[in-house]
Amino acid sequence: MKISFIIIRGGKIRLIIASIIMFYILLSCDIFVPRQMVISHKNNRTKALEINLTEKERITISGIDWECARLPPYVDFSLEGSYLINSDSLRALFNDKSVDCVGEISMTDKTTGKTKNNMEGTFYASDCLIKVTLIPYKLVQNGHKKKKKKRYIPYRYPVEFFPVCFLPCDFIMVKDQKVINDTIWFYSAGLPQPGER
């Protein structure tokens, strides 16, 4: 009985030591250091794109990527006013044509601070923050079957994926009008921008 207690206790100590080592590895890699992406829209570059639709409806778009590139980038849509969100209509593309992009959508209410994750389908949103996490995936064959399935690939090399673009789509609608009616480009803050060397 005494021997088994010592073994269990020793296992817990090893687990704690391993956790501390992993924590310091992550810190040294700066994985949690966000960088604001540069947005290019209609030949203008900015870090926060504001779209004024009416007196009550206004959207601020910004993007975040990470120093160590172990986390996927995301795009924030700060909404003021009421909108219709069509999550299935979002069209986002990575620079690497062999990698497809899916947007995982969450919604945070600005007044209560409550967040709803994995929003799907069509829903109404007002005075909230819509976060679109850009997840890379590849279609791979499932054994000998002809069907293909989504397989997420590790997000480690941002140079291959940037820039990211949002194509014109019905993702956000206000009074039957598209908000994204032009292509919006997102460039990593850690990479040279167009026209720079």
CB 173 within 8 A of CB 123: no
pLDDT at 131: 92
Q: How far apart are CA 179 and CA 79, in angstroms?
A: 11
146 vs 111, more confident? 111
Q: What is the mean pLDDT of residues 2-14?
A: 53
Residue 5 pLDDT > 50: no
pLDDT at 77: 92
Residues whose CB falls within 8 Å of the CB of residue 26, separated by 6 or more in sequence, listed in order: 32
Task: For Cα atoms 63, 126, 39, give the angle at the middle one, nearest 5 degrees.
Answer: 20
Domain ranges of the chain: 1-30, 33-187
Residue 116 CA to its chain's centroid (Å): 15
Q: What is the mean pLDDT of residues 69-87?
A: 85
Q: Maximum distance among all alpha carbons in the chain?
A: 74
pLDDT at 142: 59
CB 157 within 8 A of CB 136: no
Residue 21 pLDDT > 50: yes
Residue 58 pLDDT > 50: yes
How far is the CA of 123 from the CAs of 54, 86, 118, 130, 171, in angstroms? 21, 7, 12, 12, 11
Bond prior to 163 in cis (omega within 30° of 0): yes
Residue 197 pLDDT > 60: no
Nearest Cα to 131, choosing from 141, 144, 118, 121?
A: 118
Q: How far apart are CA 171 and CA 160, in angstroms?
A: 25
Task: For Cα atoms 163, 166, 64, give the angle at the middle one, nearest 5 degrees.
Answer: 55
Q: How far apart are CA 36 and CA 60, in angstroms?
A: 14
Residue 121 pLDDT > 80: yes
pLDDT band at 85 (very low <50, low <70, confident <90, very high): very high
- H/E segment holding residue 121: none
